[in-house]
Each structure stands twice: as structure tokens, then as C-alpha cells.
Amino acid sequence: MSVPGVMLDRKERRKLERRFTKAERRGKMKYIKYDPTFSAADGQPFMVPDPDVHVQKRARDKARAEGKERYDLPTIEADFSKAMIWFTNNLPHELAVDGESPRKLTPEDTGNAYAVIKAFQDPQKGYVVLEDSVYRWLVDLNKSEGPIAFRVTQAVVAERLEDLVKEEGVQESKGD
């Protein structure tokens, strides 16, 4: 699933890459300790909708062939990376009564979400690298929309995001 009506053009993506490189040179990066295992707060596997559109289409077609109007969305067990990608790729999570979201995405939201997705697609040597401002945005987003998306598991996500590694990858620090 993607954010409807929002697409970063080449200029915006390049701007984000330059900002990332500049922050990396200045040492303004956060290194989140990465462990792929992830479970819900009760210890059960955390399930997200299957991101494979072909699997979703087959489930929808099968339901139509059987004459059903609704179908169960196929799900997969998510590791930490898939959970964070699902979380940021499906913003906003809150829905109003009429089905419209009361919160509109800003260009900053889409740029930061894109940066988070790129970072979690390629965890490096046991950590995920995020620019400081993107990291703060993600932590704040988890506080505001995490309870809607993750429910109680939002607390697990908060703990995982606060588990930082110093740049050298040797010393750990909480919430630095």
C-alpha cells in the first residue's frame, strides 16, 4: 500500500539524499540497534497485510469468484523492518467517521517516511542509520499514531527505537 496522491519527484529524493549525506558528515545521525525478530506485546507474532500486490489480487479474485463481496486481507508475520515499513508507508493511521483522515500528510511527512523506509529496507551491520531529524520525527510519530497502528505493541516499538548504538557501534545509549 502506498500513500494516495503523494509521490516524491526526483528533485525531492535527491534533496533528501544530500541532506542525509550532509548530516552523516556532521555526525548528526542516529544508529538504531537492529534485531530483526519482532513480536507483539503479548509475545505473539506481529502480523501486517502482505505487501505483495499479486497475493492481494489473487485473494480478491478468489472471493469474487466465490460470490463474496468481502475478503480477508492476506497477512504475513512481520520482522521489525517490515513492521516499520508498514507503519510509515500507511500514514495516516487514524480515520474519521466518514472514512476521510482528519490529518493530512505534509511534504515533510512524506519525505521522512521515505527516508525511514529506505533505511529499514537496508539495515547495516546490526543497526539502522537515520538522520537525527528523521529519527525524532519517527519517535514522535510512534507516540501520536503508534497506539492506533500498533495498539499496545506501540510500547515495544518505542523501546526498540530508543535502543541506540553509538556511531562506532560499541557503546549503547538509551534515547540519546
pLDDT < 70 positions in the chain: 1-8, 16, 20-27, 94-102, 167-176
Supply the pTM of this predicted model: 0.74
- Tell me which residue range forms the domain holding 136: 10-49+79-174
* The predicted structure's pLDDT at residue 1: 34
Q: How far is CA 11 from CA 24, 113, 132, in A?
A: 20, 16, 21
Q: How many domains does the chain fold into? A: 1
CA dihedral 48, 29, 92, 69 (to 10 degrees): -20
Would residue 59 count as lying in a domain?
no
Assigned domain for 56 exists = no
At residue 172, the pLDDT reads 43
Whether residue 133 is contained in a domain is answered as: yes
Query: Is 74 contained in some domain?
Result: no
Tell whether 125 is covered by a domain.
yes
- Whole-number pLDDT of residue 46: 94
Does residue 64 lie in a domain region? no
**Which pLDDT does position 101 carry in this prediction?**
58
Q: Is 128 within a domain? A: yes
